[in-house]
């Protein structure tokens, strides 16, 4: 799944409209961001519930992917999440290994205010959930 992760991160970090929303190229972290990370940022997590199919050696996997956009401003979190959803919904990407058939948004954007960071600044999040279908030929 490393190829899928790299392709998704590449699409996000190369997106000019998202960079305009964030004020710079977005930082994407896999699983967890360090406490010293500058906001806004994006956390990428491969979700649970991956389903694999085997067709005489060819394989297809349905991989849930979650993005969490974290910002000190709710508008940036929501606008950033909407851009990530628009950018990746129904997107087809080239992977270094295998082929990504498509990503599909599977849930509405979920905004939240989870609390405060170590500097006692409010944090806002917006979540985007996708399902990516990856095909690997034998």
Please state which of the four CATH numbers 1.10.1740.10, 3.30.2000.30, 3.30.70.20, 3.90.76.10 is assigned to the domain occupying 2-136: 3.30.2000.30
Q: How confident is the model at residue 77 (pLDDT cuts 50, 70, 90)?
A: very high
Residue 137 has a pLDDT of 64
Q: Taking residues 95-107, what's their average pLDDT?
A: 76
Between 16 and 124, name the one with better pLDDT.
16
Handedness of CA 108, 109, 112, 117 (dihedral sign): positive
Residue 108 has a pLDDT of 80
Of the candidates 22, 19, 69, 62, which has an alpha carbon nearest to the alpha carbon of residue 44? 69
* pLDDT, averaged across the chain: 85
Residue 9 has pLDDT above 90, yes or no: yes
Q: Radius of gyration (Cα) for the chain, nearest Å?
A: 16
Q: How confident is the model at residue 116 (pLDDT cuts 50, 70, 90)?
A: low
pLDDT tens sequence across 37-60: 999 999 999 887 677 777 777 778
Residue 117 has pLDDT above 60, yes or no: no
Q: Taking residues 78-91, what's their average pLDDT?
A: 93
State the Cα angle at 124 between 122 and 126, rounded to 5°: 175
Residue 23 has a pLDDT of 94
| Percent of the chain's residues with pLDDT above 90 | 45
């Amino acid at each position: 799944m490393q190829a899928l992760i790299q392709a998704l991160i590449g699409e996000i970090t190369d997106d000019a409209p998202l960079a305009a929303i964030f004020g710079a190229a977005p930082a994407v972290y896999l699983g967890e961001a360090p406490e010293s990370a500058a906001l806004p940022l994006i956390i990428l997590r491969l979700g649970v519930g991956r389903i694999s199919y085997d067709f005489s050696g060819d394989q297809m996997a349905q991989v849930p992917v979650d993005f969490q956009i974290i910002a000190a401003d709710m508008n940036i979190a929501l606008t950033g999440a909407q851009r990530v959803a628009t950018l990746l919904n129904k997107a087809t990407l080239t992977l270094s290994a295998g082929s990504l058939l498509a990503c599909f948004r599977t849930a509405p954007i979920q905004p939240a205010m989870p609390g405060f960071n170590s500097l006692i600044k409010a944090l806002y999040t917006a979540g985007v959930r996708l399902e990516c279908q990856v095909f690997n030929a034998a």
